[in-house]
Structure 1
Amino acid sequence: MTDEPNTSTPPSVPAVSVVGPDDGETVLLGTVRMRILEDGSTTGHRLGIAESVLAPHTPGPPQHRHAGHDEGFYIVSGTVRFTVGDGNHDATAGTLVMVPPGAPHTFANLSDEPAVMLSTFTPDLYVQYFRDLRDLHADGDAVTPQAHLRVMGRYATEPVAGVDRTSS
Structure 2
Amino acid sequence: MAATDQPDARPVYSVVGDRYVYLVTGRETAGACFVCEAFVPPGGGTPPHVHSREDELFYVVEGEFEFVVAGSPVRRTAGGSIFATRGIPHFFRNVGPGPGKMIITVTPAGLEDFFREFGRELDGPAAAPLPPDDDEIRKLLAAAPKYGIEILG
**Would you say same fold, with TM above 0.5?**
yes
User: Are 1:149 and 2:144 counterparts?
Assistant: no
The equivalent position to 1:112 in structure 2, one of 88, 93, 97, is 97
Amino acid at match of 1:127: E
Residue 21 of structure 1 deviates from its aligned partner by: 4.7
- How many aligned positions are there? 144
Residue 29 of structure 1 deviates from its aligned partner by: 2.4
Distance 1:135 1:55, change over 3 A: closer
Residue aligned with 2:142, SS:
helix
Counterpart residue number, 2:65: 80
User: What are the superposed Cα offsets for residues 56-84 of structure 1, whole Å, 9 maximum, x if unpaired?
Assistant: 221x2221111111111110111111012
Counterpart residue number, 1:57: 43
Report the TM-score when normalising by structure 1. Answer: 0.76
Distance 1:141 1:119, change over 3 A: closer
Query: Which range moves more in the overlay, 30-39 or 143-152?
Result: 143-152
Residue aligned with 2:19, SS:
strand
Amino acid at match of 1:32: D
Residue aligned with 2:66, SS:
strand
Contact 1:56–1:112 under 8 Å retained in 2:
yes
Contact 2:64–2:75 under 8 Å retained in 1:
yes
C-alpha distance in 2 between matches for 1:30 and 1:62: 9
Q: Which has the higher contact order (CA 8 A, sep 6+)?
A: 2
Residue aligned with 1:22, SS:
helix
Counterpart residue number, 2:75: 90
**Identity level (%):** 27
Counterpart residue number, 2:31: 45
Counterpart residue number, 1:5: none
Amino acid at match of 1:103: I
C-alpha distance in 2 between matches for 1:111 and 1:34: 19
User: What are the superposed Cα offsets for residues 81-139 of structure 1, whole Å, 9 maximum, x if unpaired?
Assistant: 10123221111111111111101100011221111000111111111111112159x9x
Gaps of 5+ in 2: 122-129
Residue 159 of structure 1 deviates from its aligned partner by: 2.1
Structure number with higher strand proportion: 2
Contact 1:48–1:120 under 8 Å retained in 2:
yes
Report the TM-score when normalising by structure 2. Answer: 0.83
Distance 1:106 1:42, change over 3 A: same
